[in-house]
Structure 1
Amino acid sequence: MDEMKDIRWKQRFENFEKSFKLLEKYSEEPISTELERAGIIQFFETTFELAWKVLKDYLEAEGYVAKSPRESIKQAFQIEIIEDGHLWMDALSKRNLTTHTYDQELSEKLMKEIQEQFLPLLRNLYDKLLEER
């Protein structure tokens, strides 16, 4: 591995780790207000953005080329860094809907998906990359 690329993914991982831990911490608390829901959704958006970018940097350190979130997810799934590629793609499309947190029905649905599906997905990535670091 090129040393600079190796360092880059590890630095990005540190940012991902901080964001993931905040998302995890606050997702486990009771959510009762619109503001709390919007905060969790924002944490998800940030954490997911860092997740695909750490995947991209990790892949580059391993000699692969991925330029977009979709390419990074597909490549990471192919080399078994992540599991459940379809759920990752779903999380990507939901991340693109996070600007619509003003829609209460959508934000409540997204909140449930974050807690039940996407948080465990991000946890798996976190655990996998923690081993690699």
Structure 2
Amino acid sequence: MDEMKDIRWKQRFENFEKSFKLLEKYSSNSISTELERAGIIQFFETTFELAWKVLKDYLESEGYIPKSPRESIKQAFQVELIEDGHLWMEALSKRNSTTHTYDQELAEKLVKEIQEQFLPLFRDLYNKLLKER
């Protein structure tokens, strides 16, 4: 059973890695069109979903039982799997509000936050879990 939990987070990590790499690749380019902004926001949504789920799966393999994104983030912070718990909570809040981002100004602001704040969070998690894999 424990081996299955160990495999689960590693499989989820592979999906997170693919999504993170796409977000990283396209976030480094100049983003000027509505379509590009929508793409970055979509990559962020997907990457965040996979990030919290890989956190949850990893924590379960370590014997913890988080039941939600918020619990997963809190527990990951407590065991020092992630460093900036407040910024992860902010990413969760932004992820929950992205479906309401119709306004161009809000979309531009979110893309900037993704590039400057959330992408480094994902990069830190990626590098940490890459060593664990």
Do Structure 1 and Structure 2 share a fold, with TM-score over 0.5? Answer: yes
- Secondary structure of the equivalent of 1:97? helix
Distance in 2 of aligned mates of 1:115 and 1:68 = 25
Unaligned runs of 5+ in 1: none
Shift in Å, 1:109: 0.8
Shift in Å, 1:105: 1.3
1:62 aligns with 2:81: no
Distance in 2 of aligned mates of 1:23 and 1:11 = 19
Equivalent residues in 2 for 1:36-115, closer than 5 Å: 36-115=36-115
Distance in 1 of aligned mates of 2:63 and 2:104 = 43
- Secondary structure of the equivalent of 1:4? helix
Aligned to 1:132: 132
Which segments of structure 1 move beyond 3 Å, counting only runs of 4 or more?
none
TM-score (norm 1): 0.98
Shift in Å, 1:73: 0.1
Distance in 2 of aligned mates of 1:32 and 1:90 = 24
Distance in 2 of aligned mates of 1:86 and 1:32 = 29
Asked whether the 8 Å contact 1:20–1:47 carries over to 2, the reply is yes
Shift in Å, 1:114: 0.2
Unaligned runs of 5+ in 2: none
- Percentage of matched positions with identical amino acids: 88
Which residue identity does 1:6 align to in structure 2?
D
Asked whether the 8 Å contact 1:52–1:69 carries over to 2, the reply is yes
Aligned to 2:31: 31
1:47-70 deviations in Å (ceiling 9; x for gaps) = 000000000000000000101000
CA RMSD of aligned residues (A): 0.9
Distance in 1 of aligned mates of 2:38 and 2:97 = 12
Shift in Å, 1:100: 2.3
Distance in 1 of aligned mates of 2:84 and 2:29 = 26
Shift in Å, 1:97: 1.1
Distance in 2 of aligned mates of 1:22 and 1:45 = 12
Shift in Å, 1:83: 0.5
TM-score (norm 2): 0.98
Asked whether the 8 Å contact 1:38–1:101 carries over to 2, the reply is no
